[in-house]
Amino acid sequence: MAKRNEMVKETVGSNNQVTELPHSEAPSELLRELVSHLRQNRTQLREEWVGSISQTRLLTAMTKEEIFAEATSVYDSYVEALETETFEALQAYARNLSERIIPRGVETHEVVGIVLLLRDVLARSLFAKYQTDFKKLNRILDAYEPAANRIANTVAVGFVQERERVIRQQQEAIRELSTPVLQVRERLLILPIIGVIDPQRARQLTEQLLRGIRTNRAKVIVIDITGVAAMDVTVANHLVQTVEASRLLGATVIVTGLSPEIAQTLVTIGVDLGKMNTVGDLQGGIEQAERLLGYKVERLAEPR
């Protein structure tokens, strides 16, 4: 690498002209030569690449036709990036591709894997072509390698970013799904909670609950945690604080469905049970809430 730079400097320095030397092309020349080689041998190299993909058992979630179609697009984008030395189009394509294949279950190691395979297939073809001229091969690789690495990086990062975006979106969806505030009678709200409560969810829960008390003028809330297996001490404390804050808004909270583990946690943190109104299950909780609100439920006839 150093030798080549030296030679070019000498030429420019001596007579202020860059003369065409037989064995020392400019990097862009080399890149052009490389790109035309890749274009000319497109069909063969692509086939080789697709072959190695199935050999290494990558992209098992996709059909042969799909792999071929995507491989064509990736190959063309790859060569175009090498040619233009710009990566925005490639980045956009990588995000687009990721958006399509992530729902199919394609994983990060597969995407990185196939890009590296393509890199290797193309590098091997360069070895084959320039095997008689080792110096030229070196120069070609000098031009090829940084660009190929940048491409691999761009595609991998594009894929990971898209994955992270999807995960964030799913987390948001789960969060919204899981804390509805339901009014089942005048002044009576039910909060059925399912799954894992982390501190962030707990905070969101409290916000929604207190807002719900104000909006619905609720006097009794039943928080059902049958669907919650366990909670840590922080969340348990948060639950107690939520109950107390609700009282300040004039509402009573009944907590139902405590699992044995959660009951243990509450006892361990020394919760003042006088402050916590708890009932075994949701049915019991609703019945007590109705009593508190002055309802009496009477069956008038057998179910039809």
Contact call for residue 217 and another protein (CB under 8 A): yes
Tokens of 203: 């905070």
Count the residues of the shown chain that bind another protein, applying the rule CB under 8 A: 18
Choices 71-79, 95-103, 172-180, 247-255; region in contact with another protein by CB under 8 A:
247-255
Least spacing, CB of residue 243 vs another protein, in Å: 9
Q: Which is nearer to another protein, 213 or 235 (CB)?
A: 213
Output the DSSP codes for the chain: -HHHHHHHHHHHHHHSS----TT---HHHHHHHHHHHHHHTHHHHHHHHHHHHHHTT--TTS-HHHHHHHHHHHHHHHHHHHHH---HHHHHHHHHHHHHHGGGT--HHHHHHHHHHHHHHHHHHHHHHTTT-HHHHHHHHHHHHHHHHHHHHHHHHHHHHHHHHHHHHHHHHHHHHH---EEEETTEEEEEEES---HHHHHHHHHHHHHHHHHHT-SEEEEEEEE-----HHHHHHHHHHHHHHHHTT-EEEEE---HHHHHHHHHTT--TTT-EEESSHHHHHHHHHHHTT------S---
Q: Which is nearer to another protein, 135 or 247 (CB)?
A: 247
**Of positions 249, 276, 292, 293, contacts another protein by CB under 8 A:** 249
Contact call for residue 247 and another protein (CB under 8 A): yes
Q: Which is nearer to another protein, 151 or 213 (CB)?
A: 213
Contact call for residue 221 and another protein (CB under 8 A): no
Choices 167-175, 192-200, 205-213, 277-285; region in contact with another protein by CB under 8 A:
205-213
**Of positions 54, 241, 264, 283, contacts another protein by CB under 8 A:** 241
Contact call for residue 245 and another protein (CB under 8 A): yes
Contact call for residue 292 and another protein (CB under 8 A): no
Contact call for residue 248 and another protein (CB under 8 A): yes
Q: Which is nearer to another protein, 151 or 209 (CB)?
A: 209
**Of positions 146, 227, 250, 280, contacts another protein by CB under 8 A:** 250
Contact call for residue 291 and another protein (CB under 8 A): no
Residues near another protein, by CB under 8 A: 206-207, 210-211, 213-214, 217, 219, 241-242, 244-251
